[in-house]
Amino acid sequence: MEVWPGDAYPLGATYDGNGTNFALYSEVADSVTLCLFDEDGNEEQIRLSEVDGYVWHCYLPQVMPGQKYGFRVDGPNDPENGNRCNPNKLLLDPYAKAVAGEIDWDQALFGYNFGDENSRNDEDSAPHMMMGVVINPFFDWDGDRKPKTPYHQSVIYEAHVKGLTELHPDVPEEQRGTYAGVAHPSVIAHLQKLGITAIELMPVHQFVNDSTLQEKGLSNYWGYNTIGFFAPHNVYSATGDHGQQVQEFKAMVRALHLAGIEVILDVVYNHTAEGNHLGPTLSFRGIDNASYYRLVDDDKRYYMDYTGTGNSLNVGNPHSLQLIMDSLRYWVTEMHVDGFRFDLASTLAREFYDVDKLSTFFELVQQDPVVSQVKLIAEPWDIGPGGYQVGNFPPQWTEWNGKYRDTVRDFWRGEPSTLGEFASRITGSADLYESSARRPVASINFVTAHDGFTLHDLVSYNEKHNEANGEDNNDGESHNRSWNCGAEGPTDDPNVLSLRARQQRNFLATLLLSQGVPMIAHGDELGRTQEGNNNTYAQDSELSWINWDSMDTPLMEFTAAVNTLRAEHPTFRRRRFFDGRPVRRGEGEALPDIVWLTEDGTPMSPDDWDTPVSRSLGVFLNGQGIRGKDARGQRITDANFLLYFNAHDEAVKVTVPAKEYAPMWDVVIDTAGEYADADPVPADSQLSVAAKSMAVLRAHAEEEEHDHSVAASLAALAGSKAQQNPGTAE
């Protein structure tokens, strides 16, 4: 085969229309061999003789898209010094844009013999390995435009490619569980009905299925076991894994964009599928172990583990950082995604010990002209020192607000002394974000996510029930802040069922009407259950998929209605924090932008916040007090709203505040369902807010009656002519 020198950049396999350039970084390698494979598994080896700046490279004019390949790296194999090269192990290109096949967990995949971690295994791993695939980078985007929805208008839907679509009756069977399934019109129509502006996909980077799970008949369902940071996971492709997965993923993004829905990827740059020192040699470990991974300083046989999964990428090494940044840029520029949620993001900032806001990773993101312009969402914790880092990220970042989740859960299950923090959380968590020049949208609000109870189970179980995972129910979070409403699990008790339905609506309405960016976990709007399992990482089964045939349609309609209210009213999606200052409304008395109300309709005093048994709260939101301007620089005004939250076990009678707030009010949301189609509520009157319920009132405005008849048009025309010719007699 004809071999040309090629170029050291870009890394990976790059097809240019005529041939393919291959480039691999390894500082420790003595030699690097490119291995090409045909469909029968026959291997052709090409020794790379060109090396520039530790990048080994060549150009093969005969290699076209669809070609499977890997690398063999010969170099030092002394784990004590952090080196684990072995040319007998076929290695996946860290920059592979697509991956073919799956690994089969043979002994040959490991650099040592089972039972003796200090031994060396020289079996050829190629027959058992997944391989990189040369892709065709060209795609007809057909004028694709990213929605670029502002944060304050965003509603995020956390979803799993397979779980969302595997049981959808309208999706063709061959497309279920795939990128094509997510792009199906029926799935997109559901997202649009809910008012979703962004779908956050659980990991779709190429990942590995754990052998320990496979042996139990389980699977790495969540995908937090990445091995290919540039490649869309091949199992989620309906069309094949020889590059077709790339085209299918792009088509999915294009379809979602056409519907006005952004695509956010849950990315796992904090660790890889190679795990700890007893893990397989699949890629990074055999290419340049010490460059890619953070090793224990005083014993380089072992890996620093801030994640609980065996290793952490070495963000202190420029080439490891380059891999992360190149990957992020690739997904934005070539795959057209709109943002990222970083799993255990704190890990990426741990250069030495503590999480550093000025770490190299954050500096690179800040300066990067591509990555800095997309949505950046951090999961602000890991298991390192000071693990919970909520509120500690730089200004351009938003964060999963776990404090919001915990506080809202506590409030609605009736925990005492939660009023103050609850008020802070539903108004944007200024205590966490304002000091770093961030705004309410820095708070990604959620009540449930993939790693915990579903919303249905949050109100149905006190205890986790994870027996299906085969770990004797020892896995998963034990302190869930859940409440079963009087019975554990399934029940026929109508009172319990009614309370559960009410609680689900309380959580959804609170979430969607809080300041910040709401995130709904897929299926919560449908009443999805995992039968009390709060950790379905291993459950690629009906336990974790959405069962569309048993969905709670009224709950879905409620969710859509509340989100419509949010979308129509900027009162609920403010770009700045409340400040409590008076707002002149034109005529009448000045009222603050927000007023916290007692049950008797008067503003709360400092003592009211400290009442430990108080579990109800009213809040007035002044639609005339929205700080900031709209996109055209105009003042934003809206209707006034009253929100009442009652977490008591009994109904609470509240006095609607005086006329200065509004003369009349319309009940627009009542999670107890008692005020459907009710007449307007006058100021100073009493309103009963049912036990464990929430009510939202909007200032009443008389609807204008419009006469759009032909006669009206003629009358208007005649009036206009009369004004133009006042002296004309009929």
Q: Which residues are catalytic?
A: 343, 379
Closest to 374 (Cα-Cα) out of 223, 678, 151, 172: 151
Report the alpha-carbon distance of residue 482 to residue 464 in Å, rounded: 10
Closest to 203 (Cα-Cα) out of 147, 149, 160, 260: 160
CA distances, 366 to each of 131, 229, 339, 361, 362 (Å): 34, 21, 14, 9, 6
Coil/strand/helix, residue 375: strand
- Written as six digits, the tokens of 427 are 């108004």
Closest to 428 (Cα-Cα) out of 619, 635, 147: 619
Q: Which residue has the tokens 């709007």?
A: 525
Report the alpha-carbon distance of residue 625 to residue 526 in Å, rounded: 35
Report the alpha-carbon distance of residue 253 to residue 40 in Å, rounded: 33
Beta bridge partners of 20: 15, 60
Residue 676 burial (C-beta neighbours within 10 Å; 0-12, 13-18, 19+): exposed
CA distances, 300 to each of 153, 269, 284, 311, 321 (Å): 48, 21, 15, 12, 20
Q: What is the dihedral of CA 386, 325, 396, 259, to 10 degrees?
A: -120
DSSP assigned state of 187 = H
Backbone angles phi, psi at 340, to 5 degrees: -140, 145
Beta bridge partners of 386: none
In contact, 594 and 627? CB cutoff 8 Å:
no
DSSP assigned state of 303 = B
**Helix 185-194 vs helix 553-568: angle between axes, to the nearest 10 degrees?**
60
In contact, 548 and 169? CB cutoff 8 Å:
yes
Widest CA span in the chain: 112
Closest to 93 (Cα-Cα) out of 247, 245, 265, 292: 292
> What residues have CB less than 8 Å from 75, skipping those under 6 apart?
26, 28, 29, 30, 31, 83, 85
Report the alpha-carbon distance of residue 473 to residue 47 in Å, rounded: 51
- Written as six digits, the tokens of 679 are 């007449």
